[in-house]
Each structure stands twice: as structure tokens, then as C-alpha cells.
Amino acid sequence: MVGSIPHGRRLSHGARNILAAVGFTAAAAAHSAITLPAYNVDLSQSSVSGLSSGGFMAAQLHVAYSATFKAGAGIVAGGPFYCAQGSLSTATGPCMAATSTSKPATSTLISTTNSWAGQGVIDPTGNLANSKVYLYSGTIDSTVRQLVMNEARAYYANYVNSANLFYKNNVASEHAMVTDYFGSGCSVKGSPYINNCNFDLAGEILKWIYGSLNPKNTGTLGGSFIEYNQGDFIASPTSHGMANTGWAYVPASCAANQVCRVHVALHGCQQDTTKIQDRYYRNTGYNKWADTNNIIVLYPQTAPSSVGNPNGCWDWWGYDDPNYAKKSGRQMVAIKGMVDKVSSGFVPLPAPAGLVSTGATDSSISLQWNAVSGAAGYNVYRMGTKVNASMVTGTAYTDSGLLPGTSYTYTVRAVTSSGAAGPDSAPVSASTTGNPPPLATPAGLTVNGTTSSSVTLAWGASSGAAGYNVYRNGTKVTASPTAATSYTDNGLAASTTYSYAVSATSSGRESALSAPVSATTKSSFVCTATTSSNYAHVQAGRAHNSGGYALANGSNQNMGLNNTFYTTTLAQTAPGFYIIGNCP
């Protein structure tokens, strides 16, 4: 699958197997190609996947342009971002024919990723946390071994929330794009590098990235294939490893200006259209799901060349551009430009207008709003949290299971058929009927610190509380309820004990007081130490004479004979109280 070897270089048997592996789409007659149209595509729903060299390229696009490919990525028989590190030998070695002692340098790749993100040459890695990533490796893949994809999982685990990362590695497939209806036998390694393994890999990738989808179209597709000019996105495409034209599948709904999303599907080496004609962009399974789920699929195309890229691979080791994995990489810029162009007709849904409360009971509030043109449905939010389990298809909703006599604030967002939500409506507040339940008494009141003039308190949150009142010695000291679960009471007297309790408040209601705690402020006295003769201490009133001995006032510690020959250091730790030694 990997990239091609420069022309004239002698290849090892393993390298020949690797480069013979996967990849095929290109462009057909440039005279029939058009400029890639603009559609009503929500860019925030963009995603990418790829096989082999396309898998490595998909990882590059996903990480470098993480602000664009927010929805997620599918990596099939690829590897971690920047795996080859600009080296062909690293590409064909650790990044493909990995062994336990020679595999991708994942820790180094993570360090490079972080450094590049800090420099701004790739997007911030924080964008990846909520992205969905689907990884696939066949158990008998002899081109890109599972050890490589294991490292891809380790790499992504450093950035992606664990619940968003899925690794499928138990299908006995060779190096190929896997389908459930088309291709060679599952264990075959050979052109067109599309294998029928009774497993719908394209569908599983799209479902993982986008969540629940409509069933795929198992009949005749209703959309259109478009051949577009790639020269609009990269000058002299064939001089840089890309074909003159690429392909796109556009569902009829997207052509009719419905809100859609875009998925970029990247073939592998030896899968361009000069090798396998239209089989990759027609028979890998993506279009069946795209047709019923408002997804435009872009199939950018490579082209073989006699120098550097004879197998038509994507640039994932630097055969065309030393900056191949950064946002400035030529092929990277070209594909990003395709996504930007196809989504340039996006018309975002407006916020729903006219949100009102139409009724209330002790446990429910009914809402209604005006319809939004182009919306497939709506989501309802109570106090910022979505409350409807499934999309609301009408313009009314009843929120149930509420507390009696309680006020709530609501907003509504319009949602497209692809799941993209518009902005919030203006909020509306409404209250349930009946008497409100008593508020829970705050628990866990503790003293977190004291000074000579202050006491700091903390307590546990009470369900339903909007704020809290703090009481000192039975008197409320908070001018208005504090929203926090901590409070510092200032302006207190030193060396004084106080009793505190806390109550919860909400909409004019107040709970019972918590169990009290006591706190004593620290002394305001500043310790001083004096070194002098015992005689001088007695004369100065820091000590007194007793039977010829000097005793420290307060502690009565024996300082020795009361004369000028004995010297002692006394520390005054409180008014009229001295101890032998320095201040503690």
C-alpha cells in the first residue's frame, strides 16, 4: 500500500509486496470534467477515511486539519500521523513491515505532533478529543502489519477520548478495502485490492463517525457521479502525484440543496483509475450509505509517475513535498481546498423564533415555537442540557418529570437531516405548578482555614439549590446567596471562636440549616525574641527572681542564676507570657 519507490531503486522482495498492495482511482478524460460544485454542506460534519497510503494520508488530514475534519476519521491498514518522518526506508520498514523491535516511533510522533501544533503548522490537538476514530487492520494483512495499526491506536489514544476510539482487528482479511458485496476473496492480496469479507467496512466507519444512520440503499443509487478538475486545487497535478481529475458521489438530496455533510474517501497505491478504473469510487460501499444519509463522498485521485511515485500512492513519506504532513503540504492543501469548495454553498439554519410556554402542571412544562425552513427537527434544552432523547419532528414539546413549583429556562435549536444543529433560540422561562419540594440541607460543612480575621468554609452541593446562605452565630452574613460551595467570612476578631451553619436557597425557598461547625480565629499577637542577661530580663519585666534564680514570666521556666553572667533568649509568645528560646 505504501508510497512508491523512486524510479530505478532496487527493491527488496518485501518492499515490492508492500508497494504492489493497494490503491486505485485517478481521473478519466479531463475534457469531461467540471469545476467541483458548491453544495449546502455543513463543514462541521466533515470526515475522512482511507486505505493503505490513503490511510496514512487520512491520518495526516485528520490531525493537521483537525479543525476541518471535526467529525472524525477512518484509518484502514494505515498508521500513525507522520509515521515515515520523511524517510522512505522508515515508510517501508517500521511503518509497514513492523516487528516487535522495529515499529513506528509513536512517542517521537506524539512529540512532533505537539511541537508542530504549538508552532501552528498543524491545527491544535485539542480539536481531536471529541472526534470519532475508527481503526481497521486485517489479521492476515501482510503489507501493513497489525503492529503498525496497534501503534496508530496508541497514537490516537493520546489525543482522542477513549469512548470515541474503536479498533477492529479480528477479521481475517488481507491488504484491501473490505466490503460485504464486492471484490476478491477475503484472503486475496492483489488488484483491485477490494475484498469481499462479508463485512461492510465503509458502513461501519460512517456509522462510528456519525452515529445512528438511515439504512443504506441496497438498490440502484439515486444520486450522481461527478468528475471534477483537480487542477483547480493544485497546479500541474500530475507533476505532484495527483491526477488531473477526481470523482465525487452526490446524493439527489444534496443536489437539491438539502443540508448535507462531506466524507473524503482516499484510495491506496495501485488503485487509481488507470489501474482499476472506477471500481474504488463505485464499489467500496460508501455510496450506498451516502445516498440515504445526505453525505457527499469525495474521491480525490492520485496518478502514477515515472519518478518518485510509479504506483500512484499518496504522499505520506515526502516524495513530492518535504512538508507533506503539514497544513502547507501540496496534496494536503489540495484536498482541504476540495472540502472547502464543496461546502462553500452552506446555508446555516437560523435560530427558531417564537418560543413560548403553552402550559404547565406540577411535573411538566409544554413549549411551542415557529417552524424553521429546511429543518429536519429540533432539540430542546433545559438549563443548557438537551432533554429530548430523539429529535423532535414537530414544533411542540412537553418536558416531563419536573419538580413542582420550580422555575426552568428553555431554548430550542433547529437540526438538519445530517444532525447539524443551528444556534439557540431566545430563552424562555416557565414554572411548574404546585408547592415546591423542600430543598435538601447542605451536608459536609467544614472549616478549610483561618487567619486572625477570617474563617474559610466549604460544603457539599445540594440538589436543586441555586445558592447558599451562610450563618455565623445564628446571624446571616451573606448579603445575597452565594452560588459557590465555599465562603470566606472576613472582618473577625482574633483569638475568637465562632459557630457557622449553611442553608440552600432557590426561588425564594430556603432549606433547613446544616449541622454547625466551630472555628477559632488565630491570635493577632506577633511573637518577639530578646537575648540578654538574666539580670536584665528581670529588670525589664520579662522574668522574675525566685530564690536567686531568674524564672521566665508566664511559663516559669528556670533560666539560671539571676545575675549578669548568665545570658538567655526569651520569646514572648503572648502578652505577659515568655518561653526560653526563639519564636516558634
Dihedral of CA 84/87/89/92: which sign? Answer: positive
Q: Are 418 and 206 in contact (CB under 8 A)?
A: no
In order of 99, 146, 186, 560, the CA distances from 173 in angstroms are: 19, 11, 5, 94
Residue among 428, 480, 485, 491 nearest 459 (CA): 485
Count CB-CB contacts under 10 A for residue 310: 17
Q: Are 529 and 518 in contact (CB under 8 A)?
A: no
Extended beta strands in 383-423, E state: 385-386, 396-399, 407-415
Q: What pLDDT score does 139 carry?
A: 98
Q: Tell me: pLDDT of 98 over 90.
A: yes
Packing angle, helices 330-342 and 53-64, rounded to 10: 70
250-305 pLDDT per residue, tens: 999 999 988 899 999 999 999 999 999 999 999 999 999 999 999 999 999 999 98
Count CB-CB contacts under 10 A for residue 104: 28
Q: Are 35 and 345 in contact (CB under 8 A)?
A: no
536-569 pLDDT per residue, tens: 999 999 999 999 999 999 999 999 999 999 999 9
502-522 pLDDT per residue, tens: 999 987 889 999 999 999 999
102 catalytically annotated: no
Q: What pLDDT score does 8 carry?
A: 31
Three-state DSSP class for 502?
strand
8-state DSSP, 243: -
519-530 pLDDT per residue, tens: 999 988 889 999
The Cα 173–Cα 137 span in angstroms is 8
Average pLDDT over residues 155-165: 97
Backbone angles phi, psi at 81, to 5 degrees: -55, 135
Q: Which residue has the cell 509568645?
A: 573
Average pLDDT over residues 166-188: 98
388-408 pLDDT per residue, tens: 999 999 999 999 999 898 889
Structure pTM? 0.68
Q: Are 242 and 331 in contact (CB under 8 A)?
A: yes
- Is residue 288 exposed (0-12), middle (13-18) or buried (19+ Cβ within 10 Å)? buried
User: Residue 318 CA to chain centroid, in angstroms?
Assistant: 29
The Cα 436–Cα 33 span in angstroms is 68
Q: Are 368 and 380 in contact (CB under 8 A)?
A: no
- Is residue 82 exposed (0-12), middle (13-18) or buried (19+ Cβ within 10 Å)? buried
Q: Tell me: pLDDT of 23 over 50.
A: no
Q: Tell me: pLDDT of 496 over 90.
A: yes
Bond prior to 322 in cis (omega within 30° of 0): no
Catalytic position from the list 4, 49, 52, 425: 52
- Is residue 450 exposed (0-12), middle (13-18) or buried (19+ Cβ within 10 Å)? middle
- Where residue 114 falls (left for φ over 0; alpha for ψ -120 to 50; beta otherwise) is alpha
Give the model's confidence band at 13: pLDDT under 50 very low, under 70 low, under 90 confident, else very high.
very low
Q: What pLDDT score does 126 carry?
A: 97
309-340 pLDDT per residue, tens: 899 999 999 999 999 999 999 999 999 999 99
Percent of the chain with pLDDT over 70: 95
Q: What pLDDT score does 306 carry?
A: 67
Q: Tell me: pLDDT of 7 over 70.
A: no
Give the model's confidence band at 417: pLDDT under 50 very low, under 70 low, under 90 confident, else very high.
confident
Q: What pLDDT score does 164 carry?
A: 98
Catalytic position from the list 4, 47, 131, 141: 141
Q: What residues have CB less than 8 Å from 287, skipping those under 6 apart?
A: 221, 223, 249, 281, 297
Q: Tell me: pLDDT of 29 over 90.
A: no
The grid coordinates of residue 451 equal: 487567619
Q: What pLDDT score does 32 carry?
A: 80
Q: What domains are defined for the chain? A: 13-342 (no CATH), 356-431 (2.60.40.10), 446-520 (2.60.40.10), 528-580 (no CATH)
Residue among 511, 517, 550, 546 nearest 532 (CA): 550
60-91 pLDDT per residue, tens: 999 999 999 999 999 999 999 999 999 999 99
Residue among 182, 211, 209 nearest 195 (CA): 182
- Is residue 100 exposed (0-12), middle (13-18) or buried (19+ Cβ within 10 Å)? exposed
Tell me the average pLDDT of the chain: 92
141 catalytically annotated: yes
Q: Tell me: pLDDT of 150 over 70.
A: yes
Helical H segments across 120-200, by residue range: 146-157
Q: What pLDDT score does 419 carry?
A: 77
Q: Which residues of 516-533 are buried (b: 16+ CB within 10 A; e: fewer)?
A: ebebebeeeeeeeeeebb
Catalytic position from the list 62, 175, 240, 537: 175
Percent of the chain with pLDDT over 90: 86
- The bridge status of strand 467-472 relative to strand 407-415 is unpaired
446-491 pLDDT per residue, tens: 999 999 999 999 999 998 899 999 999 999 999 999 999 999 999 9
Q: In degrees, to the nearest 5, what angle opens at C-alpha 282 toward C-alphas 376 and 219?
A: 60
Average pLDDT over residues 151-161: 98
Q: What residues have CB less than 8 Å from 414, skipping those under 6 apart?
A: 349, 350, 351, 352, 372, 374, 375, 377, 378, 421, 422
379 against 16, higher pLDDT: 379
Residue among 269, 300, 260, 266 nearest 284 (CA): 266
Three-state DSSP class for 126?
helix
The Cα 501–Cα 508 span in angstroms is 19
115-148 pLDDT per residue, tens: 999 999 999 999 999 999 999 999 999 999 999 9
337-373 pLDDT per residue, tens: 999 999 999 888 899 999 999 999 999 999 999 999 8
Backbone angles phi, psi at 577, to 5 degrees: -125, 125
